[in-house]
Amino acid sequence: MVETTTRDRLVNEAMRLFSEQGYRATSVAQIEKAAGLAPGSGALYHHFKSKEALLAAGIDRQLDRRGAMRDVRALFAGLGDLDTELTLLGRYLFAVLDEETQLLQIAARTPADQSARVAAAYAALVDGLCAELADWIAGWAPHLAAADAQRIAVVAVNALLGNRAGRMLYRGVGAQLADEEYLSEWTTLLAVRIRA
Amino acid sequence: MVETTTRDRLVNEAMRLFSEQGYRATSVAQIEKAAGLAPGSGALYHHFKSKEALLAAGIDRQLDRRGAMRDVRALFAGLGDLDTELTLLGRYLFAVLDEETQLLQIAARTPADQSARVAAAYAALVDGLCAELADWIAGWAPHLAAADAQRIAVVAVNALLGNRAGRMLYRGVGAQLADEEYLSEWTTLLAVRIRA
DNA sequence: GTCTATACGCCGATAGAC
DNA sequence: GTCTATCGGCGTATAGAC
Lowest pLDDT segment from B51-60, B61-70, B149-158: B61-70
Which of A106, A144, A170 should one mutate to test binding to chain B, selecting the residue with the greatest count of B CBs within 10 A?
A: A170
CATH topology assigned to domain B6-62:
Arc Repressor Mutant, subunit A (1.10.10)
Helical axes B116-140 vs B101-108, angle rounded to 10°: 130
Does the pLDDT of residue B107 top 90, yes or no? no
The span from the CA of B132 to the CA of B97, in Å, is: 14
CB of A188 lies under 7 Å from some atom of strand C: no
Does the pLDDT of residue B70 top 60, yes or no? no
Q: What is the mean pLDDT of residues B139-166?
A: 95
Lowest pLDDT segment from A143-147, B58-62, B168-172: B168-172
pLDDT digits (tens, 9 = 90+) for B11-43: 999 999 999 888 999 999 999 999 999 999 999
| pLDDT at site B29 | 98
Q: Which of residues 33-62 of B touch strand C (CB under 7 A)?
A: 37-38, 40-43, 46-47
In chain A, the residue whose alpha carbon lies closest to the alpha carbon of B176 is A154
Chain A within 8 Å of B61 (Cβ-Cβ)?
A: no
Instruction: For residue A64, give the amino acid letter.
Output: D
Position with higher pLDDT, A172 vs B48: B48
Position with higher pLDDT, A2 vs B57: B57
Q: What is the mean pLDDT of residues B52-71?
A: 82
Where are chain B's structural domains?
Answer: 6-62, 67-195
The span from the CA of B43 to the CA of B34, in Å, is: 13
| pLDDT at site B163 | 95
Does the pLDDT of residue B147 top 60, yes or no? yes
Pick A6-59's CATH classification: 1.10.10.60, 2.40.30.10, 1.10.760.10, 1.20.140.10. Answer: 1.10.10.60
R_g (Cα) of chain B, nearest Å: 20
Residue B150 CA to nucleotide C10 C1', Å?
48
CB of B26 lies under 7 Å from some atom of strand D: yes
The span from the CA of B123 to the CA of B83, in Å, is: 28
Does the pLDDT of residue B68 top 90, yes or no? no
Separation in Å, CA of B67 to nearest CA in chain A:
18
The span from the CA of B170 to the CA of A125, in Å, is: 12
Does the pLDDT of residue B83 top 80, yes or no? yes
Position with higher pLDDT, A23 vs B117: A23
Kindly provide the b/e burial profile for residues A125-153, where b requires at least 16 CB atoms within 10 angstroms of the residue's own CB.
bbeebbbbbbbbbbebbeebeeebbbbbb
CB of B31 lies under 7 Å from some atom of strand C: no
Kindly provide the b/e burial profile for residues B27-55, where b requires at least 16 CB atoms within 10 angstroms of the residue's own CB.
ebebbbbbbebeeeeebbeebbeebeebb
For A70, counting Cβ atoms within 10 Å of its Cβ (0-12 exposed, 13-18 middle, 19+ buried), the class is exposed
Question: Where does the pLDDT of residue B73 fall: very low under 50, low under 70, confident under 90, or very high at 90 and above?
Answer: low
Lowest pLDDT segment from A130-134, B116-120, B135-139: B116-120
Q: Which residues of A touch B126 (CB under 8 A)?
A: 166, 174
Share of chain B above pLDDT 70, in %: 90
Q: What are the residues whose beta carbons fall under 8 Å from the beta carbon of B115, sequence distance 6 or more?
A: B23, B52, B55, B56
Q: For residue A136, which of A190, A183, A97, A182 has the smallest C-alpha distance?
A: A190
Task: Print pLDDT tens along chain A (196 aa).
Answer: 566 999 999 999 999 999 988 899 999 999 999 999 999 999 999 999 999 999 999 999 988 887 655 566 666 767 789 999 999 999 999 999 998 889 989 988 887 777 788 888 888 889 999 999 999 999 999 999 999 999 999 999 999 999 999 888 776 666 678 999 999 999 999 999 999 8
